[in-house]
Amino acid sequence: MADITQQFFQAVASGTRFQEAFNLLNGMDMFGMLRALNALDAPMLRELRLRQPQFGNWGGPNIARMNFAMDVVQTRTVPAPPAGLPADQVTAANTFLAATAAGGLTRHEGVVAIESWTARYKQGDQSVDNRFLYPAAVPYLALEQKGMIAMRSLDVGCYGGKLANVHGLAVHCTAGGVGPSAYGVAQNRCVPTWNDNGASAHFAISGDGTVVQFIPTSHVAFAQGAGNPFWISVEIDNDGIATMTLPQLSAVKQLFAWVCRSFAVPRSLATGHICKVESWDRITRSVCNFSNAFVSESRGETIGSHGLSCHRWLDFGGGRACPGAGILSQLPSIANPLMVC
């Protein structure tokens, strides 16, 4: 969803920032306004409407426009429009009702889960009531940094269908210099890049070891090509050459342990892919031999294996050496909880 819509949800959920909510609502076109109102649960929508008279002297004709939109959402009909409402806005209301009747505006479950978690988190409730959300993570939409703009939203197209058969955790890297700020990693490296190219990952870990969650592990993230339907993904903020920082290493060990417990994944290294690039294959063989793990030239065998894997072993398009030699050398210490890096 657009940033203005996410800000509107947060303002309404706060229970206090209703003037801000009306300002944001007024900044949307009619179709966007209808979608935003439709996404509120019934009690929130009723509360918003009850608060509206407080601002009756603010907005003039804008109030009539908002009341029209609320009528459409609450009654599922298009009422007589207020005087002066442009005809295209009435058309937008009819289009909206036709789309909702056809199921065309059903919100993605993953988006709803992250937004709901964010609303609770920002109000001080850091509990997790969904087994597909990592309790030690921060929902990306809750990240803030003083003097910086609100976190932008991940496009709904970056959320895939159900992830029904989890084989393990795949490690990736951002290919940028290590940044200590989780906000900076999410806002500047992950979300804009993914929105541009349709990619995504379930998690990211900043240089200080903060784990950020973008997509519930109930749904596919578009991180590792043919491996997407089977693997949970984590981006390490790393230049693709160096090893992880110690906070990152500790964080990814704990994340992998949670994946293993939650999805009955073995705490071991998955099958390494031999891609016939000598520099890469040499280190793949080395870490797999050290961990008593198999290697294979078969794409089906590497994708079908279970445990801890990485981008290069699961995604065969383009030959990207992600997550890089430094992180690859640390995979055995992640897979083996008794090993010290």
DSSP-assigned states of every residue in 30-53: HHHHHHHHHHS-HHHHHHHHHHGG
Indicate if 232 and 88 belong to the same structural domain: no
Give the residue numbers spanning the domain of 151: 129-335
> How sure is the predictor about 229, in pLDDT bands with cuts at 50, 70 and 90?
very high
Locate 339 and state its tokens: 């090993």
Compute the distance between CA of residue 239 and CA of residue 169 in angstroms, rounded to an integer: 20
Indicate if 73 and 138 belong to the same structural domain: no
Indicate if 224 and 181 belong to the same structural domain: yes
Residue 269 DSSP one-character state: B
Question: Residue 59's pLDDT is what?
Answer: 55
Compute the distance between CA of residue 59 and CA of residue 25 in angstroms, rounded to an integer: 11
Backbone angles phi, psi at 272, to 5 degrees: -85, 140
Number of domains in the chain: 2
Domain membership of residue 108 (yes or no) is no
Compute the distance between CA of residue 92 and CA of residue 270 in angstroms, rounded to an integer: 51
- Asked whether the beta carbons of 85 and 71 are under 8 A apart, the reply is no
Domain membership of residue 116 (yes or no) is no
The packing angle between helices 61-75 and 87-101, to 10°, is 20
Domain stops at, among 101, 121, 149 = 101
Compute the distance between CA of residue 152 and CA of residue 24 in angstroms, rounded to an integer: 15
Domain membership of residue 111 (yes or no) is no
Indicate if 134 and 88 belong to the same structural domain: no
Indicate if 80 and 180 belong to the same structural domain: no
What CA–CA distances, in Å, run from 331 to 171, 228, 328?
Answer: 9, 20, 5
Indicate if 215 and 325 belong to the same structural domain: yes
Domain membership of residue 114 (yes or no) is no
Compute the distance between CA of residue 79 and CA of residue 302 in angstroms, rounded to an integer: 58
Residue 105 has pLDDT above 70, yes or no: no
136-194 tens-digit pLDDT = 999 999 999 999 998 999 987 788 888 879 999 999 999 887 777 999 999 999 999 99
Indicate if 87 and 212 belong to the same structural domain: no
Domain stops at, among 59, 84, 101 = 101
Average pLDDT, the chain: 88
17-54 tens-digit pLDDT = 888 888 888 888 888 888 888 877 777 788 888 888 88
Domain membership of residue 341 (yes or no) is no
Indicate if 173 and 263 belong to the same structural domain: yes
* CATH number of the domain bearing residue 284: 3.40.80.10
**Highest averaged pLDDT of the listed ranges 63-67, 92-96, 143-147, 250-254:** 250-254
Query: Which string of DSSP letters, residue by residue, matches 169-229?
Result: EEEEE-SS---S-HHHIIIIIIHHHHHHHT---SEEE-TT--EEE-S-TTEEESSSGGGTT
Indicate if 162 and 73 belong to the same structural domain: no
Indicate if 208 and 319 belong to the same structural domain: yes
Which of 115-119, 196-200, 294-298, 314-318 has the weakest average pLDDT?
Answer: 314-318
Three-state DSSP class for residue 296: strand
